[in-house]
Amino acid sequence: MSSTTTTRRTPTRTARRTRAAVAAAVATAAVLAGCGTTGGTTGASAGGDGAAEEIRRLEIMAPADPGGGWDASARALSASMESEGLVGSTQVTNVGGAGGTVGLAELSGERSEDFLMVMGLVMVGAIETNASQATLADTTPIARLTAEDEVVVVPAASPYESIDDLIADMQARGGDVSIAGGSAGGTDHILAGLIAQAGDVPIEDLNYIPFSGGGESLAALIGNQVDAGISGIGEYAESIESGDLRPLAVSGAEPVEGIDAPTLTEAGYDVELSNWRGVVAPPGISDEARERLTALVEETHASEAWQAELTERGWEDTFLVGEEFDTFLAEEEVRVREVLTDLGLVQ
């Protein structure tokens, strides 16, 4: 089997994280034999029960430049599917721009049914902040795959010893307290807004300073140019380990191994947020194609190769398919829209 990779821009650093991986799943989902196919596929051969019998060539789009989380997810899927013999071959393409909405617009016109696009929480926010004409309604949801928690940090010399200290100062000094993070309207910004709301800090007093990536915000933190920072754990893990940054809280449901900080919920703030990632297919595909792609992703999730990717990359396994994923997406759209409206980023 062969894999063809097409990229368009210069790679950036792929984040790693420190959470221990979930143990490997052992069950393998079966695909109904003999269903009709389109878009360059053939029906399952007699006795065949795997996606490899049906999908000769799968294209996976990462709607971002090479090197980031979506790109890493696309390539991990590709490698796992091929090594397990679940498809004939895969092709990974990168279509970067506008928080994934450039790729989303391209997906809306895709005609192949053997096609997946990686997406996630960042895209949900970008659709709103960019007033994207293409929305998640222009996709066929397939599965949620992984999540990475966020972490709130301060420079080592900071007077803030806890998340309570930071929020108390935000209450007292308002916009004089600066918080660094990724692009405006992204996951980091959303979390900053949720923390402000939970800490009774007027949203107009939130002084969020966006940077293009974790590296730039890290430099601002270590240079004591900002008071605090928010990013995915992988972006700050090395600086936390070295002692250059002090973690105050993590954003997920449980503490993170290697990060000496409580969850926001444990600290008394009703906030839980993870930077989740999933896959969707083009709009308007047949029911048979959706079942085929769902079964393929289920088989991939259950494979040893994918579980090894989770372990190596430190991704949390948050697998969700079917109506549960549909419901999750709808709830996320509502939650993100409300936060971004409160932040004044959307009308």
The CATH number of residue 51's host domain is 3.40.190.150
257: in domain: no
Same domain, 177 and 131: no
Q: Which pLDDT score is estimated for 66?
A: 87
Task: Report the chain's mean pLDDT, rounded to a whole number.
Answer: 86
Better-predicted residue by pLDDT, 159 or 217: 159
Please name the helix (run of DSSP H) or strand (run of DSSP E) that holds residue 150, with its range, or none: strand 140-155
Same domain, 142 and 168: no
Q: What percent of the chain has pLDDT above 70?
A: 84
Same domain, 104 and 231: no
Rounded Cα gap, residues 218 and 70, in angstroms: 21
Range of lowest pLDDT (10-14, 55-59, 165-169, 227-231): 10-14
Same domain, 108 and 153: no
271: in domain: no
Rounded to the nearest angstrom, the gap between the alpha carbon of residue 79 and the centroid of all alpha carbons in its chain is 19
208: in domain: yes
Please name the helix (run of DSSP H) or strand (run of DSSP E) that holds residue 321, with its range, or none: strand 316-321
Same domain, 33 and 70: yes
Domain containing 97 equals: 3-148+276-342
Residue 185 has pLDDT above 80, yes or no: yes
Same domain, 194 and 131: no
DSSP 307: H
Residue 178 has pLDDT above 70, yes or no: yes
Residue 71 has pLDDT above 60, yes or no: yes
Three-class SS of residue 15? coil
Same domain, 206 and 144: no
* Structural domain count, the chain: 2
204: in domain: yes
pLDDT band at 183 (very low <50, low <70, confident <90, very high): confident
Three-class SS of residue 120? strand
Rounded to the nearest angstrom, the gap between the alpha carbon of residue 139 and the centroid of all alpha carbons in its chain is 17
347: in domain: no
Neighbours of 172 (CB within 10 A): 10
Rounded Cα gap, residues 127 and 120, in angstroms: 11
92: in domain: yes
Same domain, 87 and 158: no
Task: Look up the CATH number of the domain holding residue 189.
Answer: 3.40.190.10
Residue 12 has pLDDT above 60, yes or no: no
176: in domain: yes
Q: Which pLDDT score is estimated for 280?
A: 98
DSSP 202: -
**Contact indicator for 174, 205 with CB cutoff of 8 Å:** yes
Same domain, 155 and 144: no
Q: Which pLDDT score is estimated for 332?
A: 93
Rounded Cα gap, residues 61 and 6, in angstroms: 10
DSSP 61: E
Same domain, 143 and 11: yes
Q: What percent of the chain has pLDDT above 90?
A: 71
- Among 250, 268, 300, residue at a domain's last position: 250
Rounded Cα gap, residues 86 and 98, in angstroms: 32
Same domain, 330 and 316: yes
Same domain, 139 and 287: yes
Q: What average pLDDT does the segment 330-339 reach?
A: 93
